[in-house]
Structure 1
Amino acid sequence: MSFHLVSRVGPQQYISEEGAYNYLPEFLKVLSAARVLILHGVKSWHKTAPYLPDLNGAGFDVHEMTFGGECSYQEIDRVIQKIRESDIDLVIGLGGGKVIDTAKAAAFKSGGRPLVILPTMASNCAAWSALSVIYKDNGVSIGHEIYPKQSSLVLIEPRVILDSPIDYFIAGIADTLAKWYESDSLLTHVHQNHLSILYARESAKLCRDIPLKYAIQAVEDMKRGVLSEPWQLVMETNIIAGGLVGGFGDEYGRATAAHSIHDALTVFPETKHILHGVKVAYGIMVQLALEEKWEEVRRLQPFYQCLKLPMNLRDLHLDARPEEDIRKLAAYSVSPDKTIHLLPFEVTETSVFEAIQRLEKSIYI
């Protein structure tokens, strides 16, 4: 297995501390960014308001734009139009993963404008990675785009994320855990001895070890509103470590089977309300079944049960679906564009369907 390796490690600057947003006016002045567009979600805008500096009062021409709900090409084009109409100098993405991915896409496609990211949840590595996951307007995943340019600045205000919905935090834990299981199958078959591959491998280990050791405590601390060291560590792992796997490893650190299963699940309306990382959690189980790593499946079961992550079709509300529909799920997961084919063995509709069936039997043991 051999890919052309291009590392896009992370943002140019990163701050994670109480009061981090206060660095924003200084940074904008350094870049001579007079006209700023803030793309934000409704809830995230209210959550961050107490901590944001007064950019208008500091002399900046601030334009606000409420996110439309999906990181779709239509939504990206809408933001690009606003950027061009208002001659925006710099884009700020404030919110969750889809807001951030839309801001990334619009900033790059409108001429490579500088981008500042203020994540309000630790639900994925969107703030760190140089890519956007693209959806149709109805929420069906249709792939991703990789950009040659990283963001200029990422600012994390821990108090904002601590106050975010805990189910998104748990989804982020699952999405982070997938970085180990998906990249492991690639990184162990690399025939190149690049230092960046070693860094990707170590980052992937963090994506496994930190959640399995600290995540349950971190979730309990978040429920109690305690900004603890375990919570801080898991929160930053969700945002940073997952992004570093692909950042250092490029194609060797990409998603494989778990995210392909996620994409297939988005086709079923029963899963529309289920968060990205939660669907990926089930994808991890299917990937382990494909690889016949049943000891690992059993090792993860208590962790999954504690965090209420899906381990079977019943947990996804798909157990009433006929066998024909589960075969369609398997077929969609192995369509030619899916990353499941990066696994170091042939994967077919039949092998995925059989893995799902074996998983159903195994989980009840």
Structure 2
Amino acid sequence: MTGQHKGLTTMISQSGPQRYISDNEAYDQLPGFMADLKVKTVLFLHGQKSLAAAQPYLPAWPADVDVVDVPFGGECSYEEIARVRAIADENDVDMVIGLGGGKVLDTAKSVTTGTHRYLVLIPTLASNCSPWSAISVHYKESGEHVDHEIYLETANLMLLNPKVILNSPIEYFVAGIGDTLAKFYESELIFKQLPEDQYTVALTISQQMANNCKDVLLKNAIGAVEDMKAGKLTPRWRQVAETVTVMAGTVGGWGDDYGRASGAHAIHDALTIFPETAPHLHGAKVAYGILVLLAIEGQEDDIKDLLPFYRALGLPTNLAEVDLGHASEADIEKVAEAAADPSTQMHFVPTEKPVTAAVVREAIATVEQVSAKVAI
């Protein structure tokens, strides 16, 4: 086995936020939480659209708390992190509240890590597991992927209002489904190849949560999307939404490197090199990456099984559907080399031989062929 999974060494589990509330009145818990912690100054980082969506449900700020309002700059970049951190330092804030999508929340995590400041995360989208995880993914201002960091801390509080997420753009929900499905496919072989005597309870939880991600989504995701389109807050929709934001986060949280992102995310990161893929959300590109990962592993039957599910949701099944249909051989080689670089998460894929650029290039070609053969 290649990669870092030859033997179980020290594994660090970070199960999730210290406190989590999912309820239509979840935001009402915020003033009391701030009072209990004797918070005096808050930096409120938010997207503009996210704030508009959440505003009807947000309680009034406590009269004895100063609030520094900071609109988000658009990317979780090192430049944006430095800007927000400087504002936090200048105002000597006690707490940072991040409200919005994954990039807003990741920025808030990057600002508070290693400091005395409390962190509250309020997701307004079900598009990834950022609200639950201790990870921030960093990008250039252009949107190109840079790296990710795993922090020592998780959020002090996470508040999820299902009504807010139900009314969010449907494409983010679909992308979240794609991102969450990767939790199973990226960890499946890693868990299968672990000897029984290396399993801990934490790994057992991680594997079970990965299995649950797949089972819940394949059974309920298509129906949940229909519920969301109809504006119906059904138990089925809520289960899928919380699978994306919560259950997905527990896979890597409990399993550490054994449950982290691997090949599918490496493909996503490589795709961000090309500006034409920018309109496609993170989870959509990860979903395409799952197909390439399965091709790397020689699991063509699994690709065929997933294609109808992908097409029902509108997830990309080939290069054309991530706007790289006219990519040259040199472009494909660029994607393959970036994805197979030893510094990427591709090294977590437990194959007999290292995953080289040639292997990735061949896998991309396989996905094109299988996708074309399986009737729409």
Note whether the superposition's TM-score is higher than 0.5.
Answer: yes
Between 1:292-301 and 1:279-288, the stretch displaced more is 292-301
**2:119 match:** 115
**2:303 match:** 297
For 1:260, the aligned partner's letter is: A
Shift of residue 189 of structure 1? 2.3
1:56–1:62 CA contact under 8 A, matched in 2? no
Cα deviation code 1:247-286 (max 9, x no counterpart): 1000111111000000000001110111000000000000
**1:146 match:** 150
Alignment of 1:273-288 (within 5 A): 273-288=279-294
Alignment of 1:1-365 (within 5 A): 1-2=6-7, 3-57=9-63, 59-109=64-114, 111-191=115-195, 192-345=198-351, 346-365=354-373
Cα deviation code 1:51-110 (max 9, x no counterpart): 0000144x211111000000011100111101110010011010000000000000114x
What is the CA–CA distance in structure 1 between the aligned matches of 2:269 and 2:295, rounded to whole Å? 18
Q: TM-score, normalised by structure 2?
A: 0.95
Secondary structure at the aligned position of 1:93 is classed as: strand
For 1:283, the aligned partner's letter is: G
What is the CA–CA distance in structure 1 between the aligned matches of 2:294 and 2:199, rounded to whole Å? 26
Secondary structure at the aligned position of 1:364 is classed as: helix
2:316–2:322 CA contact under 8 A, matched in 1? yes
Shift of residue 304 of structure 1? 0.3
For structure 1, the residue ranges without an aligned partner over 5 or more in a row are none
What is the CA–CA distance in structure 2 between the aligned matches of 1:186 and 1:68, rounded to whole Å? 37
What is the CA–CA distance in structure 1 between the aligned matches of 2:199 and 2:312, rounded to whole Å? 38
Secondary structure at the aligned position of 2:57 is classed as: coil
What is the CA–CA distance in structure 2 between the aligned matches of 1:249 and 1:292, rounded to whole Å? 25
For 2:307, the aligned partner's letter is: Q
Fraction of identical pairs, as percent: 48
What is the CA–CA distance in structure 2 between the aligned matches of 1:150 and 1:233, rounded to whole Å? 23
Shift of residue 230 of structure 1? 0.6
What is the CA–CA distance in structure 1 between the aligned matches of 2:191 and 2:46, rounded to whole Å? 36
RMSD: 0.9
Q: TM-score, normalised by structure 1?
A: 0.98
What is the CA–CA distance in structure 1 between the aligned matches of 2:27 and 2:199, rounded to whole Å? 39
What is the CA–CA distance in structure 2 between the aligned matches of 1:324 and 1:47, rounded to whole Å? 43
1:15–1:154 CA contact under 8 A, matched in 2? yes
Question: How has the CA–CA distance of structure 1 residues 352 and 112 changed in structure 2, closer, same or farther, with 3 Å as cutoff?
Answer: farther
Cα deviation code 1:29-60 (max 9, x no counterpart): 11111111110000011111110000144x21
What is the CA–CA distance in structure 1 between the aligned matches of 2:56 and 2:78, rounded to whole Å? 32
Cα deviation code 1:117-162 (max 9, x no counterpart): 0000000000000010011111110110011111000000111001
Shift of residue 4 of structure 1? 2.4
What is the CA–CA distance in structure 2 between the aligned matches of 1:343 and 1:276, rounded to whole Å? 20
Secondary structure at the aligned position of 2:33 is classed as: helix
1:170–1:307 CA contact under 8 A, matched in 2? yes
**2:3 match:** none
What is the CA–CA distance in structure 2 between the aligned matches of 1:61 and 1:186, rounded to whole Å? 48
Shift of residue 315 of structure 1? 1.1
- Structure 1 segments, 4+ long, off by >6 Å, are none
For 1:39, the aligned partner's letter is: L
Secondary structure at the aligned position of 2:107 is classed as: helix
2:170–2:229 CA contact under 8 A, matched in 1? yes
Shift of residue 113 of structure 1? 1.3
